[in-house]
Copies of this chain bind each other. A is one copy, B any other.
Amino acid sequence: MAGSTPLQKREVDDENESSSSMRTAETILRLLPMGLCVVALVIMLKNSQTNEYGSLSYSDLGTFRYLVHANGICAGYSLLSAIVAAVPRPITMSRAWTFFLLDQILTYVILAAGAVSTEVVYLAYKGDTAVTWSESCVSFGGFCHKATVSVSITFIVSLCYAGLSLLTSYQLFSKYDAPVSFYNNKGRIEIATY
């Protein structure tokens, strides 16, 4: 970390450029899960099957209802946050904290939705003899297939949100000083990197 003036100028330019490309990356990372959430939501909403064994709809399983809600909330939040992220403005402290916390919560919500739905799909395919749960997918193959697709998309959304969490935690915490740092005689921060 040298302190000469031309280098500082270049650093500022680099900062602005990286800030702009980060804003683009963030907007894309928010629009992508929005689209995926809507697709996962629509597939699950339309998922019902009626045959000689009876009829089965997504709303019969509490887990899939949760998946639909989680995807709906995620799509709405992704759209709103993409709009906010796309506007070229300096990232304030309160905005960084809000994005950071909401992204973390959304990541956990969507990951949990994906995980519990996977569990239900798995049980529906494999059943469990110990607790006498039948393999429902033998009778409702089409339903199970659509559910699997919806759940898989939800997992891709989880991955996007894990990336977003990383990005917003960088945006937030890079505003703070390093926990272990010392000052040199020029008054600039030197970070201990071994």
Contact = CB atoms under 8 A, between A and B. Distances in A.
A174 B171 contact: no
Nearest to A59: B130
A91 B179 CA distance: 8
Contacts of A115: 111-112, 115-116
A56 B129 CA distance: 10
Q: How many copies does the complex hold?
A: 2
B61 A130 contact: yes
Interface of A: 3, 8, 11-12, 15, 18-19, 22, 56-57, 60-63, 90-93, 104, 108, 111-112, 115-116, 118-120, 122-124, 126, 128, 130-134, 136, 140, 162, 165-166, 169-183, 186-189, 191-194
B189 A187 contact: no
A175 B175 contact: no
Given A15-B179, A174-B178, A180-B90, A130 B60 contact: yes
Given A11-B183, A119-B63, A90 B131 contact: no
Contacts of A133: 123, 131, 133-134
Given A19-B179, A115-B115, A92 B194 contact: yes
Closest 5 CB pairs of A and B: A60-B130, A173-B173, A169-B169, A112-B115, A116-B119
Nearest to A194: B92
Nearest to A5: B187
Contact of A122 (B62, B136, B165, B171): B62
